Amino acid sequence: MTAFSPATDAVSRHTKTITAAKFGAAASLYQQHARVQATAAAMLFSLMQRHQGQQAASWGLDLGCGPGHHSVALQRYFSPLLQLDLSHTMLMQSDATSSKVCADMDALPLQDGSVDGIFSNFAMQWSQNLPALINALYRVLTPGSNAYLSLVLDGSLQEIISAYHQASLPCKVNQFITELELRNIVASTAFHTLSFNRVTLVDQFDTAKQALQSIKHIGATHSINSISHTGLGGKGKLKQVLDCYPQLSGRATVSYQVALIALHKPIC
């Protein structure tokens, strides 16, 4: 495994350290609770089948791979496969035989034209410079290759936001990019857009507490915009939020707005 530590400013380094720690702490429980992520991944594989068929590429990149749950399926499309994640603990959960790199996606340690396909599921929303990251994906792809991406959009976690609002408490959940902003970023690159769709994915739980815990178990309890927001509240405030959590047919839900994107790097 290769370790890589990009030189960034102090605030960015601190934020990245928090990000890695949060996801590292969630590593052992991630697969059990990442049901929505699994659904998004299945949709990305459908995109790959549609635009790539059974044709296997050479080097593939699983960007923000987490514990590597999709490595076996990805190896049907990419061989060899490179797994990259900010969290060393997450990478250690993967038992795949593929190469692993612990690195920051915002400073990709890859050469120009070095990979023949990119897969990234529920990861790129954590980027601190998404325009630069998408341009970096274009840089590292070989001409004629595709990138398949899912990102969380603004409008996600509305149930949690509603519960905090009803409890008259400041909401600390992450603020994600809007669909329009993301479309504009993609349009500003040299990529050709094969497809861009927005879907709503919903997870259901028996209790509001389980719904809130699901966010913690996938490592998503911190803000990428402010290092001071590190949780969803203390015990007293948490009880207020749970009492105000919206129910649907007696169950607590957590919804995500997700962009599913297939991009093509044309042959010049």
Q: Which residue has the higher pLDDT, 212 or 266?
A: 266
State pLDDT tens for residues 130-165: 999 999 999 999 999 999 999 999 999 999 999 999
Confidence (pLDDT) at 212 = 86
What mean pLDDT is predicted for residues 31-48? 86
- Tell me the average pLDDT of the chain: 83
pTM above 0.85, yes or no: no
End-to-end CA distance of the chain: 34
Sequence-ordered strand ranges (E) for the chain = 2-3, 60-63, 81-85, 99-102, 115-121, 141-153, 192-205, 252-264
Residue 241: pLDDT over 60: yes
Neighbours of 165 (CB within 10 A): 14
Q: Per the structure block, which two tokens stand in for 167?
A: 């409890």
Could you tell me the CA-to-CA distances from 30 to 110, 117, 145, 230 in Å, in that order?
A: 27, 25, 30, 19
Amino acid present at 173: V
Q: Does domain 2-154+175-200+259-264 have CATH number 3.40.640.10?
A: no
Structural domain spans, the chain: 2-154+175-200+259-264
Q: What confidence category does residue 7 fall into, taking pLDDT thresholds of 50, 70 and 90?
A: very low
Residues 6+ apart with CB under 8 A from 214: 33, 203, 205, 254
Q: What is the pLDDT of residues 173-231, one digit of tens each?
A: 778 999 999 999 999 999 999 999 999 999 999 999 999 888 875 444 444 333 333 35
The DSSP string of 151-177 is EEETTTTHHHHHHHHHTT----SPPPP
Check residue 268 and give its pLDDT. Answer: 81
